[in-house]
Amino acid sequence: MGIGFVGGSVAFGRTRPGVARRCLVSMRSEGKVAIVTGASRGIGKAIAEALGAEGCSVVVNYARSAEAAEKVVETIKASGGQALAVKGDVSQSEDVDALFKATVEEFGTVDILVNNAGITRDTLVMRMKKTQWQEVIDLNLTGVYLCLQEAVKIMMKKKTGRIVNISSVVGKIGNPGQVNYASAKAGVIGMTMATAKEVGSRGITVNAVAPGFIESDMTEDLPLDEIKKAIPLTRLGTPEEVAGLVKYLATDPSAAYITGSAVSIDGGIGIGA
């Protein structure tokens, strides 16, 4: 899959009173450059918009929906931020190379990486085709590795940076019909911990966020009434709640001493994991 651009160069939006106030309270993130993969919808969209509102310049990566990605860019610009949409399949090394090249050419560097892109191919293990296994591993695990590797190359030279990998509660406790997904998400947690130990001395933090059942197109066809009964908080989470946690780990000064963690945001369904 090739790389493309949506919206061209990014322009500053008109400053409104609310934006001016926001700038005063979030100067810590002004000028930071963030890449969010799989950012055209769902959790990725919420993360990209939250980082944009925090003052980051955001690269909105997407695989298929240019229109949806452009809407995210427009939302970030409307809040006074900078954004650029870049098409690319992060399971392909050439697309990842081009994604980071486009980011550096437009914004000069990479300060924050949020590895969010992912898919599901659910079925019981005895019926799972090799293609269903491989597609999930390629995007949900190898894609994280490829982007993380490129980000680390840049951040090591700067001696600073923050990486947040989106895992899942399924990577901690498993789930029937999701052997491929659970394996990939568990691998993301292991990758997070190992990388955190490798790069910590260079001022880089690497953390994972493990959402539970979140309101999105990935959960809308599930038996939600039964699922809610298993969640201590008795509801699904929202993309905005996940985005708030990611924003904290990616931008807040008080998160600077957190690394190698897999932070659950699951309504309590994974208690004890």
Percentage of the chain exceeding pLDDT 70: 89
Contacts of 36 (CB under 8 A, 6+ apart): 44, 47, 48, 51, 58, 59, 60, 61, 114, 116
Residues belonging to the binding site for NADP(+) are 38-41, 116, 181-185, 214
Which entry of 62, 181, 248, 257 is annotated as an active-site residue?
Answer: 181
Is there a domain that residue 175 lies in? yes
* 60 contacts 75 by C-beta, under 8 angstroms: no
pLDDT recorded at residue 13: 40
pLDDT recorded at residue 273: 77
Is there a domain that residue 129 lies in? yes
Is there a domain that residue 8 lies in? no
Query: Domain span at residue 134?
Result: 27-265
Is there a domain that residue 20 lies in? no
> What order of strands is seen across the sheet that includes strand 262-265?
5-6, 82-87, 57-62, 33-36, 112-115, 161-166, 204-211, 262-265
pLDDT recorded at residue 225: 87
Active site residue 181: yes
Q: Around 201, how many Cα atoms within 13 Å sit in the side-chain half-sphere? A: 2
Mean pLDDT of 132-138: 99
Query: Distance between CA 23 and CA 254 in Å, rounded?
Result: 18
Q: With cut-offs at 50, 70 and 90, classify the pLDDT of residue 34.
A: very high
Encoding tokens for residue 109? 């560097």
Residues belonging to the binding site are 38-41, 116, 181-185, 214
Mean pLDDT of 184-193: 99
Is there a domain that residue 15 lies in? no
User: What is the domain-level CATH number for residue 137?
Assistant: 3.40.50.720
| CA nearest to 259, candidates 161, 148, 182, 173 | 161
Q: With cut-offs at 50, 70 and 90, classify the pLDDT of residue 197.
A: very high
Is there a domain that residue 135 lies in? yes
Is there a domain that residue 13 lies in? no
> Structural domain tally of the chain?
1
Is there a domain that residue 177 lies in? yes
